[in-house]
Amino acid sequence: MPPRIEFDKKTRGIAFQRCAGNCENCGMRLKVGEAEYDHIIPYYFTQDSSLSNCQVLCVPCHRGEGAKTADDQHDISKSKRIWLKHNGAWPKSKAPIRGGGFRKTRDV
């Protein structure tokens, strides 16, 4: 898995100015240094740490209970498995392949 790249200082500064010091999710007033910068589309999928993929959130919105849904976790886990299989790091199944065999006749 590629390493996660965080936003650089310039991108964080412009994003903080863009949000005018408010959380972009709930609108809570943020102090300098208390904001957290989040990838809108996870970095794992896009490898994009640009301003267009950055959102400024308060701590409860970023780390809170509703931060990641079950669907997000499912999609992230599935994409990791696909990536590992593609790169040969996922173990092959040890179970025998079961098949129904071929039909005896050509009649449908």
pLDDT tens for each residue of 90-104: 777 777 777 777 777
Residue 93 lies in a domain: no
- Residue 29 pLDDT class (50, 70, 90 cuts): very high
Question: What is the predicted pLDDT for the residue at 78?
Answer: 81
CB neighbourhood size of 35 (10 A): 21
Question: What is the predicted pLDDT for the residue at 71?
Answer: 64
Longest alpha-carbon distance in the chain: 75
Residue 105 lies in a domain: no
CA angle 77, 38, 24 (to 5 degrees): 125
d(CA 90, CA 105): 39
Residue 98 lies in a domain: no
- Residue 108 pLDDT class (50, 70, 90 cuts): low
Judged against a pLDDT cut of 60, whether residue 1 lies above it is answered with no
- Asked if 11 and 28 count as a contact pair (C-beta separation under 8 A), the reply is no
User: For residue range 52-93, what is the model confidence (pLDDT) as tens digits?
Assistant: 989 999 888 888 755 656 567 677 778 888 888 888 777 777
- Asked if 62 and 38 count as a contact pair (C-beta separation under 8 A), the reply is yes
Question: What is the predicted pLDDT for the residue at 105?
Answer: 74
Query: What CATH number corresponds to the domain at position 63?
Result: 3.40.1800
Residue 106 lies in a domain: no
Residue 103 lies in a domain: no
Residue 40 lies in a domain: yes
The domain of 79 spans 9-86
Q: How confident is the model over 21-37, as a mean pLDDT?
A: 87
